Copies of this chain bind each other. A is one copy, B any other.
Amino acid sequence: MPTSTVENYLKQIYIDQPTDEATMMPMGRLASAVGVTPGTATAMIKTMTESDLVVYEPRTGVRLSPEGESLALQVLRRHRLVELWLVEILGLDWSEVHEEAEVLEHAISDKVLARIDALLGHPTVDPHGDPIPTADGDVVARAHTSLPRCETDKPLRIVRIADQDPEFLTYADQNGLVPGARLIVERRDRIADAVTIRVGGHDPITLGTSAAERLLVEPADGQTADPR
């Protein structure tokens, strides 16, 4: 059984994969993702290499082995199911559940997880729209586009908010920017580096591109199922 420290390293490496390339994560980035000094990360990754959880190339970076990826997916599954449980059943605010889940994900047994999964009706996405890996490690990712890359004046629906920062999430929530919400891009301004959108009945909002990038959307022409 991996320790919870090892689980965290695995999770961070997995999350860092931008698409699904077999690309290497630089040690510096891993270190700051996990919240340790680079030296610590190097040491940890070396021992994880012994257990065949990762592939490590000095001065290049680190990548998950198949076993490592499978473990990372289990951790992610626990994390996201717990988040959803906290929101749906216990009624916590979606902006604050990430922290809680961060601890709980290392304490939940398979048996309890299975019950929670059933209680929630075998959901496929967490409160932020992130996909929940299945018990056998499949991730059914929804196709989506980052907001700044969308055409203007087309109906869109938010699939996912790719940020865990409570401040950002609270802001999003207050402006109706939750998974499932419908919106259109009114204007894109390259010079101001901003995107103006209109959500449901609300007034238009203007977001900087870097914030807008964290909103992932899909076309909302017909009546596609709500992601939750």
Q: Which residues of A contact B (CB under 8 A)?
A: 86, 89-92, 100, 103-104, 106-109, 111-112, 115-116, 119
Contacts and interface: CB of A to CB of B under 8 A. Distances in A.
A109 B100 contact: yes
A112 B112 CA distance: 16
Contacts of A112: 86, 90, 92, 100, 104
A8 to B, nearest CB: 14
**Best-buried of A91, A104, A111, A112 by chain B (most CB within 10 Å):** A112
Nearest to A96: B111
A75 to B, nearest CB: 14
A116 B115 CA distance: 16
A89 to B, nearest CB: 8
B103 A115 contact: no
Given A90-B112, A90-B119, 17 more contacts: A86-B112, A89-B119, A90-B115, A90-B116, A91-B115, A92-B111, A92-B112, A92-B115, A100-B109, A100-B111, A100-B112, A103-B107, A104-B104, A104-B107, A104-B108, A104-B112, A107-B107
A93 to B, nearest CB: 10
A115 B107 CA distance: 18
A109 B201 CA distance: 37
16 contacts: A86-B112, A89-B119, A90-B112, A90-B116, A90-B119, A91-B115, A92-B111, A92-B112, A100-B111, A103-B109, A104-B104, A104-B107, A104-B108, A104-B112, A106-B107, A107-B107
A70 B34 CA distance: 33
A118 to B, nearest CB: 9
A169 to B, nearest CB: 16
Contacts of A119: 89-90
Nearest to A99: B109
Contacts of A91: 115
A103 B89 CA distance: 21
